[in-house]
Structure 1
């Protein structure tokens, strides 16, 4: 295992005194680090925004922009707020140290800086940064980029907020029979291929897949980040999903494997979106009548013998830009009155008719 306290890193030294800057740079380079220099806070921020650094060694008293101003800028920048900063200064007083720590500094060392102490502080800060980077990587791996961005900007808190958006449910039809007819390894391979294609279509149109349940998925268009024209984006994504399944089926039939079909339900309206679960384990999701209706529409695709079903709100939002077919009213569990159902017209449905 690599000892991160002594691993080489890319450091930035912000120090206006040329002698101090050169001596500090030389000391850090002898420790194996790659070091860049800035003669004031303004130059330091320019370098930080155009290159990637593991740690900043920051002087407080500098022309043009002092250390406090640099810390304030770092705190306000989501891309830089987690950068470890070690302050070196001749300023005395608990209030000065406290302000630096409140602004996000990892540590505060008085000048003249003890080289052994600085080395230890840098090592500890780099180790903590590595752990934070690992946490971010886990978030990126197990959450969508939109959820990761929301977490970085807003932080994590259980609860939700009302949003306007579109919800999509989709699954593979007759999946149970398909599973029973083939080895488990083929089923896993099929699911991996299926999700790869569906994720690409959904993400391409701004959607966020927030649930995968067996052969089914749920996607949100309009949360956690707002999405203009979310209803049309959801329907366009669904149409692309159907096209991808058709291309996949051409390969499956050529390999003497059964073709697969999907059903998609989309509803538009208000919902409550946010993080549900516990502080130890949570997921980003949305709840409400719009969500329930989308799920009912997806299940209704089997009875309606149509691939993509949408609700009246989605149909109205399309404004005639995508061909739809009115199928009449249908009664759904949980709905007091029947709901008008529309089908987004696909080439597959046309051939089946």
Structure 2
């Protein structure tokens, strides 16, 4: 197993004393690290925002921008706040040391710095950073980029907030029969291809896929990050999804496999969006009457024989930019009054 504490890293040394920079650089390069230097805090910040570093060694007393000011800027920058910083300074007051730690410094070493101690602290800090990077990668792998960004900016907390957004539900028609007619390996291959195409269409219009159950999926447009014109974005994504399925069917027909069809329900309005579950296992989702209506519209595509159905709020958001057909009012489970249903004209089921 590789010892992460002694793996090479890209380090930035910020110190206004030229001799200190040279001595520190030589010591760190002998340990195998790649080292660059900045003669003051302002230059150090510019370098951090321009290039990627694994750790910074920061002096406190520098011209133009002190080490304290550098730490304050790092704390306020979402992209840099997790960078490990080891303070190397001749300041000895407990208040100054405490302030550095409160501003996010990983450690504090007095000058002149003991080389053995510095090596150990750098190794420990780099190991912590790699663990944090692995956690971020896991979040990016199992959550959408929008959710990952929301977590990074706002942190994790169970609960939700009211948002105006658009919800989409989609599934494959006759999927159960299709599963029974082919080997499991073919079903897995189909689902992987199907989800790849659907994700591409949804993400391409700013949507977030937050649930996948069997052949069905749920997507949100407008949360966790705001999305202008979310209703139209969802409908355009649905049209792209239909087009991609048609292209997939060309390949399936050529391979003597059954074509697939999808049904899509889209609804816009107020909902509560946030993290639900427990602190050990949670998911980002949304709930509310709008969400239920989108699910009912997706189910209604089977009866209406239309591929994409939308609610009045989504139709209003389109402002005539996409042609829709009025199918009249329909009664849905959980709705006290009938709802006007509209079908996107370019997506009729053949």
Normalised to the residue count of structure 1, the TM-score between the two structures is: 0.99
Equivalent residue for 1:261?
Answer: 261
**Pairwise CA distance, 1:204:** 0.3
Partners of 1:132 and 1:174 lie apart in 2 by 44
What count of residue pairs does the alignment treat as equivalent? 350
**Structure 2 SS opposite 1:270:** strand
Partners of 1:172 and 1:253 lie apart in 2 by 17
Deviations 1:193-237 (A, max 9, x none): 000000000000000000000000000000000000000000000
Partners of 1:348 and 1:243 lie apart in 2 by 12
2:148 is the alignment partner of 1:186: no
Q: Which residues in structure 2 correspond to 1:214-253 (within 5 Å)?
A: 214-253=214-253
Partners of 1:320 and 1:71 lie apart in 2 by 52
Partners of 1:85 and 1:8 lie apart in 2 by 17
**Structure 1 SS opposite 2:2:** coil
**Pairwise CA distance, 1:75:** 0.4
**Pairwise CA distance, 1:293:** 0.2
**Structure 2 SS opposite 1:271:** strand
Partners of 1:254 and 1:348 lie apart in 2 by 23
Normalised to the residue count of structure 2, the TM-score between the two structures is: 0.99
Equivalent residue for 2:124?
Answer: 124
Q: Structure 1: any 5+ residue segments left out of the alignment?
A: none
Partners of 1:345 and 1:190 lie apart in 2 by 27
**Pairwise CA distance, 1:346:** 2.0
Deviations 1:255-307 (A, max 9, x none): 00000000000000000000000000000000000000000000000000000
2:295 is the alignment partner of 1:295: yes
Q: Is the 8 A contact 2:307 2:347 kept in 1?
A: no
**Pairwise CA distance, 1:93:** 1.3
When the two chains are superposed, the root-mean-square deviation of aligned CA atoms in Å is 0.6
Q: Which residues in structure 2 correspond to 1:333-352 (within 5 Å)?
A: 333-349=333-349, 352=350
Q: Structure 2: any 5+ residue segments left out of the alignment?
A: none
Deviations 1:235-263 (A, max 9, x none): 00000000000000011001000000000
Q: Is the 8 A contact 2:88 2:109 kept in 1?
A: yes
